[in-house]
Amino acid sequence: MKDLKYLASFSIPLTAILGLYVREEWVFLTPVVAFVLVPILEIILPIKTANLSENEVLSKDNNRLFNVLLYLNLPLVYGILGWFLWNIPTSNYSTTELVGLLISVGIVLGSNGINVAHELGHRKLQWEKTLGKVLLLPALYMHFYIEHNFGHHLHAATKEDPASAKYNQSVYSFWFTSSFRQYFSAWKIQLKLLRTNGLPFYSFKNDMFWYLIIQFAYVLLIFFLFGIKVFFVAIGIAVVGVLLLETINYIEHYGLSRNKNKSGRYERVSEIHSWNSNHVLGRIMLYELTRHSDHHYKSHKKYQLLDYHNSSPQMPYGYPTSMVLSLIPPLWFSIMNTRIPVEMKA
């Protein structure tokens, strides 16, 4: 029964569904729950640092429940997105309702779409990776798969990594530097892979080219089916989802830097190069993303198996709370800067 705790990850989509159904002021329930109620509960609830025993690891590794919980997000995210976009032309949403639902559906896309896509993107089975890419489509961020897996995990906590925030860099600056640099980095990685395999730009294996076509077809289909208004709403939802992702990226490695050894190469990525959080609610709602230190230390591990390391830098608050704090740079700097070891400041 303890494994069912991850059902809490569906609380954000459920609030969006309630907002879509009831409307009026309820359209803002999702951001209120995600960034007001959850942070308050994270402060109240205890922190749990316990790791699984060897027997528990074997049991949970082979338990299909954990996979099913991920797969369910595909129909859930697309169902909510489709419901909202389909209703816009006929439901006479007020401007306030439209804005509230755009934000709410965008949050669902970020938490249960992109976040789950990240987990599936690290899986060994090709069809699971494909599911992850499908979840990235509404965010127009399919290149994330390439850059994250072949770029970020190689360069994390270095100046070469677009998704690692520098010391004293604000989250607003990071939104721009990270999103643009990640896109161009993904193209560089893709072109390098093509050259290595002796393939031309227009090769069937040029995934970045296919991502362009698929994403263009997605927004074009929305435009022709529903019109210009729904087209811009879909773009807005994608922007909210991406900003949620990039805010998470911001807090995951903020200010941390890997040192170079005598040969001039960076030291190996370890559990000390990512911020860890053991706040229970954020852990289960984000599929253990907050145990990010172990994820980078052993990126092949499934979310339910991630460990806590004593040596990992610890966030004073959970990830949802930290995301809110990051939106106020002076407050964020005053809390986090003193926690970064001098030798690791990026």
> How confident is the model over 222-245, as pLDDT tens digits?
999 999 999 999 999 999 999 999
**C-alpha 106, offset from chain centre:** 12
Domain of residue 279: give its range: 2-344
Neighbouring residues of 335: CB distance < 8 A, sequence distance ≥ 6:
316, 325
Q: Are 141 and 114 in contact (CB under 8 A)?
A: yes
Residues 259, 270, 38, 86, CA torsion sign: positive
pLDDT digits (tens, 9 = 90+) for 60-98: 988 999 999 999 999 999 999 999 999 999 998 999 999
**pLDDT given at position 43:** 87
What's the chain's Rg over C-alpha atoms?
A: 20
**pLDDT given at position 52:** 87
Look over the chain and give the mean of its residue pLDDT values, rounded to a whole number.
Answer: 93
**pLDDT given at position 325:** 96
Closest CA to 164 of 265, 258, 275, 254: 254
β-bridge mates for residue 345, sequence order: 256
Q: What percent of the chain has pLDDT over 90?
A: 75
pLDDT digits (tens, 9 = 90+) for 99-110: 999 999 999 999
Average pLDDT over residues 169-177: 97
Q: What percent of the chain has pLDDT over 70?
A: 99
Q: Is the pLDDT of residue 137 over 70?
A: yes
Q: Is the pLDDT of residue 216 over 90?
A: yes
Neighbours of 313 (CB within 10 A): 21
**pLDDT given at position 345:** 67
pLDDT band of 1, cuts 50, 70, 90:
low
**pLDDT given at position 267:** 87
pLDDT digits (tens, 9 = 90+) for 14-30: 999 999 999 999 999 99
- Residue 279: phi and psi, rounded to 5, are -65, 120
CA distance 315 to 336: 8
Average pLDDT over residues 287-307: 88
Average pLDDT over residues 46-59: 87
139-153, 169-183, 241-255, 292-306: the lowest-pLDDT one: 292-306
What pTM does this model have?
0.94
**pLDDT given at position 270:** 85
Domain count within the chain: 1
Distances from the Cα of 82 to the Cα of 14, 17, 105, 181, 346, angstroms: 15, 12, 10, 30, 42
161-165, 282-286, 334-338: the lowest-pLDDT one: 282-286
Average pLDDT over residues 26-37: 96
Q: Are 76 and 109 in contact (CB under 8 A)?
A: no
**pLDDT given at position 299:** 82
Average pLDDT over residues 265-286: 89
β-bridge mates for residue 47, sequence order: 279
CA distance 289 to 295: 8
- DSSP annotation of 45 reads S
pLDDT band of 46, cuts 50, 70, 90:
confident
Average pLDDT over residues 280-294: 90
pLDDT band of 346, cuts 50, 70, 90:
low
Q: Are 293 and 276 in contact (CB under 8 A)?
A: yes
Average pLDDT over residues 168-190: 97
Q: Are 189 and 146 in contact (CB under 8 A)?
A: yes
For residue 123, with 0-12 CB atoms within 10 Å meaning exposed, 13-18 middle and 19 or more buried, which class applies? middle
**pLDDT given at position 2:** 77
